[in-house]
Structure 1
Amino acid sequence: MWASLRPDAAGLVPCIVQDAVTREVRMLGYMNESALAATLACGEVTFFSRSKGRLWKKGESSGNVLRLLELRTDCDRDALVALVEPVGPTCHLGQRSCFSRRLVPAADEDEGPGAGRAAFLHRVEQVIEDRRHGRGVTSPTGRSYVRSLLESGAGRIGDKLREEADELATAVASETDERVAAEAADLVFHTLVALALRCVPLDAVVAVLEERFGRSGIDEKAARSRP
């Protein structure tokens, strides 16, 4: 693979790291032949650190690794894009992305960040699926709350949905906006777990919303009530 690339005079190729789900650019690093080989061998992005003068696996000390899902090159074969599943924040300052400082405002302030946050739900969906299969458990005990819920079945998950919905209703009626957001997040999360139990993808829910979008809510409900 390295032989097909065109490194610079120092034997390096820039590698842009991009979240495979949200398409957010996480960081930029440089690879030499050994770094590329190490990345492909371990499945986690490894760079050549120009400041340290050695191979450096992202997250080797913090644990915030970048799991490689796909690797692409540009038309000139002198740059790479790594599509990854990030574990935790990527920036050493604790930010999700190293590219968090905006120099020019986005053309549509609402669409940019909102699109990324909406795509984040797909990442949560993937994490739930990982936990179902015992992957990526971070608890020292090796236990997973998500997996225990899925193993407990529809009855237990239904109870959690009713519990979280009731807590959200209470928050809407009498608590702070922060509590409303927190309780809504709990309900959304447990809804995703319920979807995973039934193997219903989030995209199926989005498709229903898209189909209903632009229709009168009154008309739509009336249509559903007809035999």
Structure 2
Amino acid sequence: MTAVTVDFDIETIDFAKGDGLIPAVVQDADTLQVLTLAYMDKAALAETIDSGQATFFSRSRGGRWRKGETSGDFLNVVSVTPDCDADAVVLKVRPVGNACHLNRVSCFGDEVAPGVGQLAKLERTIAIRAAADPQESWTARLMQQGIKRIAQKVGEEGVETALAATAGPDAEVASESADLIYHLLVLLQARGMKLKDVIDVLKSREK
């Protein structure tokens, strides 16, 4: 399991303010969707960092609770970041299954990967389908045809998007843009790249 990114000393976290507990906001590392809110004592935070799996203190049970031990829906932790007062943390995770005990992705409503988080969800889906049977998945079939064919599709969808923008209704522009984004994400997958690589370039250009 990948090591958890931590840039703080656990001794600096203020557990005393909350009578030994701190709130832990759990967020999907890719879609940035808030998945749940739980609580940690010092031992749970230490175990989370050491194990790479989200471990909490259950106030109802009065003790340790590792998410997924009974359900199989684990939260694999990417990073832990304290807030400015060091009395709460954000866990960025890659979930295995659902975060909510009601079998929902998030404890905060039914929506899955809202807003631009849908792009990260699509990227995950493409990665899964790329390994599927080409007879059953267009994504796998396209990947099997190779990078040149995928690049050609990106070019075709780019032209169709441009044509829709100059002469078509908004619904057509949205539809063609969706096709373009999908094929662009397939291209990145075929190159072994991530959407994050593109976002990093965009962030660097802000400067």
* Secondary structure, counterpart of 1:113 in structure 2: coil
Which structure has the larger Rg?
Answer: 1
In the alignment, which of 138, 159, 178 is matched to residue 187 of structure 1? 138
Superposition deviation, residue 2 in structure 1: 2.0
Matched, 1:41 2:50: yes
Task: Let me know the Cα RMSD of the aligned residues.
Answer: 3.7
* Secondary structure, counterpart of 1:56 in structure 2: strand
2:116, 2:36 → 1: CA distance?
Answer: 19
Superposition deviation, residue 72 in structure 1: 0.9
Q: Superposed, which structure 2 residues align to 1:202-213 within 5 Å?
A: none
Report sequence identity in percent.
37
Is the contact between residue 59 and residue 65 of structure 1 (CA under 8 Å) also seen in structure 2? yes
Is the contact between residue 21 and residue 123 of structure 1 (CA under 8 Å) also seen in structure 2? no
Structure 1, unaligned stretches of length 5 or more? Answer: 103-111, 130-145, 150-156, 165-185, 220-227
Structure 2, unaligned stretches of length 5 or more? Answer: 1-8, 167-207
The Cα offsets for residues 152-193 of structure 1, whole Å up to 9 and x where unpaired, read as xxxxx7xx2xx45xxxxxxxxxxxxxxxxxxxxx324x258x
Q: Which has the higher contact order (CA 8 A, sep 6+)?
A: 2
Q: How many residues align?
A: 155
The residue number in structure 2 matching 1:96 is 105
The residue number in structure 2 matching 1:124 is 125
TM-score (norm 1): 0.56
The residue number in structure 2 matching 1:21 is 30
Q: Superposed, which structure 2 residues align to 1:1-227 within 5 Å?
A: 1-7=9-15, 8-100=17-109, 113=114, 115-125=116-126, 146=131, 160=134, 163-164=135-136, 186-188=137-139, 190=140, 194=143, 215-216=162-163
Q: For residue 88 of structure 2, what is the amino acid of its counterpart? A: A
Q: For residue 92 of structure 1, what is the amino acid of its counterpart? A: H
